[in-house]
Amino acid sequence: MFSAALLTAAAIGAVSAQSSSFSEGVIATGTMGVTNPPEATLGTDVNQTSYARLISINDVDDWCIFAPPEAGVTIGDSEAYEVAWCTKARNNARVIPDGTITGVSLIKTDFYVQLMAYGDFTKLNLQQGDYGGELDPHGASGDGNPVGGNVTTNIATGDDLHFEEWMSFISYSQVCFRICTNANETWSSGVMCEHKLDEMGCEFVMPGNYNFNGTFESCEAEVAYPPGVYVTAIDGTSTGYSTFAQYYTGVYTADGQPVSYTVGTTVTPTAPQMTPSSSNCKTTATISNGLSLDGAAAATATSTDSGSSSSGMHL
């Protein structure tokens, strides 16, 4: 007979053996953000005023995204303090109300896990018509947008692992979220989750099948080229690449004088190098958590009224 302690030790050994088989920089090694539980946890209490920022993307009906904690702000203005909203009660985070999501395609590739979804994200405090913005673990302070945002997925190995590089685009009607779970000598996970093309949108930065509104599916897919990367030449065994840089201008000050600068190109490409196709899709009729969030939210709001604004929630 095995003792519980032996089984636990064996399980921990399996996790570290798996994480050590990842390339450098793929697995996150930092501490968790202060708003987050130490590990991804299913079945936590529902708290619709939570500030937790731990995203897990595991299955077509088990994932989280970042959205504003209160109404009345654009994604651009609230990117540093978005909070996690999950399809299930997990990670001490807020729960996405049933009826918000109208279609999901979750794809697993050799280099990343990618969530694509349509829905009415005004229910998660997005403003109607806000075409949104881009979130990633870098940000102005270097601590991420949102600050202290963290991600896990169990899709890579079956265990909840923390990954270093991810990116998310959200608007009032669409979201896409990629967690980069692999790297090789050609593509680092930072390149595969390149976060500087923040005006290009989901279809360009995270190409795939976006014709899934009304469908809830999980699929395998080919690996896309990293965002903005184009094949320039294939010469025998070697391939040349070029990388599109988003055009922007700015001004900095040198010796008290303003100096203007320009980065990138004025010619914006119309399409990515290729659009990967999905395969082996499994569909489910819909996703729901069945939680009565009105009651839960009202109870939480009254019991934790500390003067902070929770009046903007659309539940």
Does residue 185 interact with ligand NAG by CB under 6 A? yes
Least separation in angstroms between CB 171 and ligand NAG: 9
Q: Residue 253: which residues within 8 A CB-CB, separation 6 or more?
A: 259
Token pair 């299930």 in the structure block, residue: 88
Does residue 227 interact with ligand NAG by CB under 6 A? no
Contact 307, 259 (CB under 8 A): no
Does residue 143 interact with ligand NAG by CB under 6 A? yes
Integer-rounded Cα Rg, in Å, for the chain is 20
Q: Residue 118: which residues within 8 A CB-CB, separation 6 or more?
A: 101, 102, 103, 173, 174, 212, 213
Site string for ligand NAG, 145-174 (x = CB under 6 A): ---xxx-----------x----------xx
Give the separation between CA 140 and CA 160, rounded to whole angstroms: 28
Least separation in angstroms between CB 146 and ligand NAG: 9
Q: Residue 101: which residues within 8 A CB-CB, separation 6 or more?
A: 87, 117, 118, 119, 287
Give the separation between CA 147 and CA 149, rounded to whole angstroms: 6
Does residue 32 interact with ligand NAG by CB under 6 A? yes
Does residue 284 interact with ligand NAG by CB under 6 A? no
Nearer to ligand NAG, 139 or 264 (CB): 139
Task: Report which of 81, 106, 120 is spatially closest to residue 220, judged by C-alpha positions.
Answer: 106
Least separation in angstroms between CB 214 and ligand NAG: 6
Give the separation between CA 56 and CA 69, rounded to whole angstroms: 18
Does residue 21 interact with ligand NAG by CB under 6 A? no
Task: Pick the piece of the chain touching ligand NAG (CB under 6 A) from 70-78, 179-187, 193-201, 257-265.
Answer: 179-187
Task: Pick the piece of the chain touching ligand NAG (CB under 6 A) from 47-55, 189-197, 242-250, 275-283.
Answer: 47-55
Does residue 228 interact with ligand NAG by CB under 6 A? no
Binder among 22, 66, 85, 118 for ligand NAG (CB under 6 A):
118
| Residues found near ligand NAG in the complex (CB under 6 A) | 28, 30-33, 45, 47, 49-51, 102, 110, 118, 137, 143-144, 148-150, 162, 173-174, 184-187, 213-214, 223, 300, 304
